[in-house]
Structure 1
Amino acid sequence: MAEAQSQPRLAKRPVTRLAGPYGHPVHPALITVPIGAWLAALIFDLASHVVATPAFLTQGARWLIAIGILGALAAAVFGLLDLFAIPGRTPAFRTGLVHMSINIVVVAAYVINLLLRVGDPVTGPVSWGLVVFSAVSLALLGWSGYLGGKLAYGYGVRVADETRQAEGFRTVPAKAH
């Protein structure tokens, strides 16, 4: 029973300082780059169908996809470090493996998406096939994000324990004037 109680505490601590200090993991901060870049790329893709000269949007979407791939690779390094903190053979670890697996599929999809765009001319709008491909990839990313939220908010992976969290809600006495 003591082992089961200590396992959540293990998942709250970084395996190495590279993963970020206790209560401040690096992975959640870095995931904002690929999420933002890929969402903006989809918006650029859609917008390329409603403007008279879509070349700048088509080219911008390519750059955003590339930026998202690089950001995802950086986030993956720190996510892997966080995964190492989770004890094996637990629901949290299995959720972490599914989260990681979906992210690998999403990054691979965006690499393929980028490679398919390299041959397309930059003068016209993005093909509807690539727009749909991006939307499906983004939907998969949303599912993975849900699982990442479950890890952090449901299982408390890499968040401060309840005692430390309670410090932020302790009432401070008012100063006498």
Structure 2
Amino acid sequence: MTSPLHRAKRPATALAGPYGHPFHPILVTVPIGAWVTSLIFDLASYVVPDPAFLVRGSLWLIATGVLGALGAALLGFLDFLGIERGTAAYRTGIVHMCLNLTVTAAYGLAWAWRATGDAAAEPVAAGQVALSAVSLAALAVSGYLGGKLAYRYGVRVADEKTQAEGFHT
């Protein structure tokens, strides 16, 4: 019989990545990078004479982030399946997952809001910039919780015996 901690370190399926090297943390870089860059484009749209290329770029970055987030969510859910119910790690995983799904939905709505507009000569609307900023703040909180799952609770992290192999001379 294996312990709950041991089960949380093992992949639920090969799709989640091999032992000690999950795919979820690799994929989260896509939405994080896309959404941070979209906010930078949004802000830059206020300081250039013709912001249309930044407005269009931000729209596509948001779409890229949503698609990347859906892939990361699938793999993160596979990692979540190994966590024992009723534990602190499980509760943290629930909050992490709910925040990420909320942020992804907010960016999906942001994309729809922007796609119906005209990317002519106007900067991104202030409400759209505010939605992106609030969504990124929520994503930062969720990222902290994801780090807590991995680095404090050891979800999908190799055990210490395996880690020690990297420190033998």
Report the TM-score range of the alignment, normalised by the length of the smaller protein: over 0.9
Q: Which runs of structure 2 are paired with 1:119-158 in the superposition (5 Å)?
A: 119-123=116-120, 124-158=122-156
Aligned partner of 1:67 in structure 2 is: 64
Deviations 1:47-82 (A, max 9, x none): 000000000000000000000000000000000000
Max Rg structure: 1
SS class of match (1:10): helix
Aligned partner of 2:75 in structure 1 is: 78
Deviations 1:129-170 (A, max 9, x none): 110110000000000000000000010000100000011011
Runs of 4+ in 1 over 4 A off after TM superposition: none
Aligned partner of 1:37 in structure 2 is: 34
Task: List alignment gaps of at least 5 residues for structure 2.
Answer: none
User: Partner amino acid for 1:129?
Assistant: G
Q: Which runs of structure 2 are paired with 1:4-23 in the superposition (5 Å)?
A: 6-23=3-20
1:113 lines up with 2:120 in the alignment: no
Q: Identity of aligned pairs, percent?
A: 61
1:48 lines up with 2:45 in the alignment: yes
Aligned partner of 1:175 in structure 2 is: none
| Mapped partners of 2:10, 2:21: distance in 1 | 10
1:93 to 90, 93, 103: 90
User: Partner amino acid for 2:130?
Assistant: V
- Structure 1 residue 9, shift from structure 2 partner: 1.0
SS class of match (2:167): coil
- Structure 1 residue 119, shift from structure 2 partner: 2.0
Task: List alignment gaps of at least 5 residues for structure 1.
Answer: 172-177
User: Partner amino acid for 1:165?
Assistant: Q
Aligned CA RMSD, in angstroms, stands at 1.0
| Mapped partners of 2:163, 2:113: distance in 1 | 47
Aligned partner of 1:162 in structure 2 is: 160
Aligned partner of 2:101 in structure 1 is: 104
| Mapped partners of 1:142, 1:160: distance in 2 | 25
Aligned partner of 1:25 in structure 2 is: 22
User: Partner amino acid for 2:104?
Assistant: V
| Mapped partners of 1:61, 1:38: distance in 2 | 8
How many matched pairs?
Answer: 168
| Mapped partners of 2:101, 2:28: distance in 1 | 13
